[in-house]
Amino acid sequence: MSTLGGISVVFDLDGTLVDSEPTYYEAGRLTLAEYGVPDFTWADHEEYVGISTQETVAHWKRRYGLDAPAEELLAAKNRRYLELARTATRAYPEMRKFVELLAGEGVPLAVASGSSPKAIEAILSCTGLDAYLRTVVSADEVARGKPAPDVFLEAARRLGAVPADCVVVEDAAPGAAAAHAAGMRCIAVPYVAAQADAPEFATAGLLLRGGQAEFTARAAHDWLLCETRTS
């Protein structure tokens, strides 16, 4: 058993492990332009950070009055994303160190993401994180995406872990809410700094208001170690 006892760690992917939000934005911008919405901005995109791609396109249909079926929009966005992501996605260096540190100690690890299974596979493969993160859950595989707890509960089930023994690493408010609803502790690393005061983040055990600029593998590991000793 690792020095972290029975703790399992479940990572969100986009904006947490990898800097993929700019790629998602570009995929969304190009997709919406193709369907007659030419002015999708980064500020518009920020509203969807932490929400599954399926729910994003469903919201687009309502917001922009799109006639195309949601399945068609989803396929178009995923196709564009995969084309861009295979060459443009990088893992955050300290997050990579954190994953490697935990894997080296034998801590059970998983990814629970709102992205499609193909997108998750492509990102983990191109960044080399697939060597450490083999348990993967997509929101496409469960009934509800974040802020519902489904993806995290399924990740715990696949790891054979009790939810109370799981710690989630998240960058978005819906993800922090999902972790709380799942009965899991949370390390929150807000992708959008202006959202650090969101009430969902108040439930996090460790909140790094400075986001990735403040996150270090060693500090996160030390916090987990303290959690192990006090739980």
Instruction: Clarify whether 171 is annotated catalytic.
Output: no
Buried b / exposed e along 150-166 (16+ C-beta atoms within 10 A): bbbbbbbebbebebebb
Give the single-character DSSP code of 210: T
Q: Residue 61, SS3?
A: helix
Tell me if 76 sits within 8 A of 60, measured CB to CB. Answer: no
> Which one-letter amino acid corresponds to residue 80?
R
| 31 to 63, 72, 133, 169: CA distances (angstroms) | 15, 11, 30, 29
Of 12, 14, 150, 165, which one is the catalytic site residue? 12
State the DSSP H helix or E strand holding residue 138, giving kind and residue range, or none if neither: strand 135-138
16 Cβ contact list (under 8 Å, min separation 6): 92, 95, 169, 170, 171, 175, 189, 191
**Which residues participate in catalysis according to the annotation?**
12
